[in-house]
Structures are given as C-alpha cells and as structure tokens.
Chain A
C-alpha cells in the first residue's frame, strides 16, 4: 500500500511516568490522545487561547522544568510530562464599585504580592511569553494601567502561580488589575453610551417588531437581499 514504505518517524515520551511511542511532530495534546487517554479536563479551545491545557515537562539530561500549553507544543524525544488542568487558588471576593484603582488596593486584597523577590520564575513559566514579574512590579509601584497592559494577554493557565516562591496567584491578581483598569482608568466609550441610550429610548423598537412579525419566507428574502460589504468596498 502507498505510504507504508515511508519510514514513520516516532519519538519516545513519558506520560505520568509511563513510556509511549508517538509520531514525531504532533502536539502534546494529540500525543496524549494517541496514547489512549481521553480528555475530560485539561482541554478546551485547542487553539492556544483558553489556558486549559497547562503542561509541565522535563527533558532527558536537562534539570530544568519546562512549561507549555499542550495544544501548542510539539512532542520531543525524551519528554517527561504531566498536565495540570487547574492551579488551585482562592479568589478574593470584592466589590469593584468600592475599590480605588491603586497599588494599595491590590496589595490589600492580595498581600502576598509584597513577597515577590523578583526571581522571574513566573516570567520564565509563561507560555504567552508575558513579562509576568514586571506586571507584578507595576502593581508594587502603583501603576495599574501598565500592569493591566502587561497582563492583557494572560490566559489564566496558572503556570506562573504554581512556580512562584512567593505563592502569588497571578491570574486572579491580573483579573482584578484589568477590571480596575477597565472600570476606572480606560477612556469611556462614548459611542456605546449613546447607543445604549438610543436602545433604551426605543429607537429600534419598531424595526425589531417588524422583524418579529415577518414570516420565515419574508425573513429569508430580507436576509438574501441584505447589503454585503465587499473588501473592495
């Protein structure tokens, strides 16, 4: 049969200590499934955005502990790996309406931030390549806007938090920081306010009522004859 003559390249990996031979070039996530496991937790979007498939691994002959997203990282020969679908942490309860967008606010809710020794383990662990430690440092110096900017692409995988010797729960801290930024610092979207007011005043009520009254055939016709924006304009 065609293709059979092609020599199939494989690599040896160790999932939770057990050896498997899997095709080279596939992602860790596919390799785990290839080995016969079925994901119940630890898999989400499979596109590197949801942060559900946090993985730690070591390589043969290398003391370092590496971190990765299973859906974004290809298997390597001699990889010892395990997935960590959840980083346990308590989310502090707060009322955003009562908070001020300052460093002291964040420190009061998450005082362990003050224990940061700038070891940078969080930054090294981040699969998004964010400057995690710098973001924590921005909070210490009271710059919430910069902290929010640095952690904007955080996907809450929690790998930084399980590596942190100060036991900071970065992803909860960062969510708070972005909320403070969004509520108190970011410029307000004026057009949104106007549109919401228009909706509340019933500007679009009649149009919507008309749609509700239409038969499926009429709706289809309306849909097919809609204006479609083309790239040329």
Chain B
C-alpha cells in the first residue's frame, strides 16, 4: 500500500515519479490507497490532544480497509513528515487503547481501527535486502557517478524521535551508504541532521533563509556538488539558497533514477542539474 501525501502529489511530484520508477525496476509496486486525506502533520506536530490525531488515524483506517484488497499491510510513504506523523499516531493508538477509544468516539463514521497497519518509510523498503537492498541497487547502476560528491540531508522527521526515526539520530548513515552504492562520493557534513527551519518558512522566511544559508554553505565547504533529501519541505527550504552556492538539493530517488538511467521519469530541470555537475552524463 502506498500513502503519497499532499506534497508528493503537488509540489514534490518529481519525488513520486522517480521513486515509483526506481522501485518498479526492482518489481516493487506501490499501490496508492484508493482514498486518503492529508496526514494531518500541521496539527499532529503542535500539541498532545485528540483532534490532531483524527486525520492520521483516518488514513490508517483507509489503509486498513484497503489492505485486504491487496493482501499487504505495509503502508509506505515518501515524505518523511507523513511517515513520522502516521507512524507516531499508529504507535500511540496501538499502545494506548484509551486514546484509541477517545479518538474512535469522534470518528463514528468510520470502522474501528484494529492496529494492523505497518507504516514504513520508502527507504526502509529500499534498504531491505529481502526486497531491494544495497547489493542489488549497486548492480542496477548504469552510470558512472564517481566524480559526483553528494551530501545527505536527513530531515528531522526521518531521524527523530527515537523509535520512530529509522536511523541513528546522532550518527545517521543510511543515506551515505546509499550514495556509496550508487557509485558517487558520499559527503558527511556536520549539518546533515540539522533542522531546515521547517514551517517557519510560512511565518517568517528570514528565519529559514538564515538556517539554510548555514547548511548549504557548510555542504559546499565540505566539498559537496549537491544535496539529497527525503523530505519535500527540506527540499523546498534548502533550494531557497541553491543559486547562491550553486548547490542544488534533489530527492534521493532522483539520484537513484539518474544512476539507473531512468531519464524519462526525471524532469528537464533535474537532468540539467546532473549535466551541469558531471557534464554530458
């Protein structure tokens, strides 16, 4: 099952296109939920109350209804904010039946949630040796990226909180491993797990501009040609200063698609980024 999230359908369409193409190459099919709504991130992240959990729980119920149709209880997201929100609420209602009861009272228009959905970030699928794994990814690479130096930017919601995050929040490595497997040079830099400024961009763009300036500048000092990320909001924020430092931020799946020669799924803009960085391709 696949939960896209609003960003991935609109602003971050290139994330979805490249991810689906890469996974398809490995016979992994993402089947989009036939009905879904916003994961509820804005309210979910604000404070601990009932209303904020309604949207994510409704999505979990949609997944529960859908999973019997495709015989698979794994719900995959691309956007790390959607992942974090759905995963967290899934854990909350699974471990706290009183909370689930409270929420269900507000949602008497839906069947009860049985806590049987397994929320996954797409990176977990990609790194799982029984599904894809780094070894097979290495084999699928068709382009020489050895001159490309790539920094990874993890996004808070992929690493934190502990238990929800899918990598060591202090010393993450999965994106670096992926970059290595694709044959490019991974750049580990000190700001890889910093917050990009998140939704502050809506209220005060200057806060975010200051933050991403530091991040992207540092990536440049550590020698990166480009940055990869898992989060549409990080992507948006980091790209505010892309021209200042000539360091664009792209989705990690776009890098994978390029490495594997899936050019037809990539936007002209993304292709031109690669061309300018390695020349010709």
Contact = CB atoms under 8 A, between A and B. Distances in A.
Of the candidates A116, A118, A123, A143, the one having the most CB atoms from chain B within 10 angstroms of its own CB is A118
A120 B36 CA distance: 12
Interface string A53-68: 0000000000000000
A188 B19 CA distance: 34
Interface string B19-37: 0000000000000000111
B42 interface: yes
A117 B56 CA distance: 9
Interface in A78-125: 103, 114, 116-120, 123-124
A141 B10 contact: yes
Give the interface residue-count category, chain A.
Answer: 10 to 19
B38 interface: yes
B43 A117 contact: yes
B9 to A, nearest CB: 4
Contacts of A123: 109
B107 interface: yes
Interface string B55-86: 10011000000000000000000000000000
Contacts of B58: 118, 120
Contact of A142 (B9, B40, B55, B110): B9
Contact of B51 (A119, A134, A143): A119
Contact of A118 (B4, B10, B55): B55
A70 interface: no
Contacts of A172: none
A160 interface: no
A165 B51 CA distance: 10
Contacts of B42: 114
Contacts of B55: 117-119
B54 to A, nearest CB: 5
A8 B35 CA distance: 48
A142 B55 CA distance: 18
Given A123-B109, A140-B38, A117 B9 contact: no
A128 interface: no
Contact of A137 (B37, B52, B106, B109): B37
B6 interface: yes
A120 B10 CA distance: 22
Given A140-B38, A141-B6, A141-B10, A117 B52 contact: yes
B37 A134 contact: yes
A133 interface: yes
A117 B51 contact: yes
Contacts of A103: 10
Nearest to B43: A117
A118 B40 contact: yes
Given A134-B35, A134-B37, A117 B10 contact: no
A58 B42 CA distance: 33
Contacts of A137: 6, 36-38
A134 B52 CA distance: 18
A133 B109 CA distance: 13
A78 B36 CA distance: 37
Nearest to B57: A118
Contacts of B36: 137
Nearest to A131: B35
A141 B110 CA distance: 22
Contacts of B59: 118
A124 B54 CA distance: 15
Contact of B54 (A119, A141, A143): A119
Given A140-B6, A141-B9, A118 B109 contact: no
Contacts of B35: 134
Contacts of A118: 37-38, 40, 54-55, 58-59
Interface in A126-177: 133-134, 137, 140-143, 165
B232 to A, nearest CB: 12
Contact of B106 (A116, A119, A141): A119
Given A103-B10, A140-B6, A141-B10, A117 B40 contact: yes
Nearest to A120: B109
Interface string B85-114: 000000000000000000000110110000
A119 B51 CA distance: 8
Given A114-B42, A140-B38, 10 more contacts: A103-B10, A117-B54, A118-B38, A120-B107, A120-B110, A123-B109, A137-B6, A137-B38, A141-B10, A143-B9
7 contacts: A118-B54, A120-B107, A120-B109, A120-B110, A141-B4, A142-B10, A143-B9
Which 10 A-B pairs rank lowest in CB-CB distance, beginning with the nearest? A142-B10, A118-B55, A141-B9, A141-B6, A118-B37, A137-B37, A140-B6, A118-B58, A117-B43, A119-B54
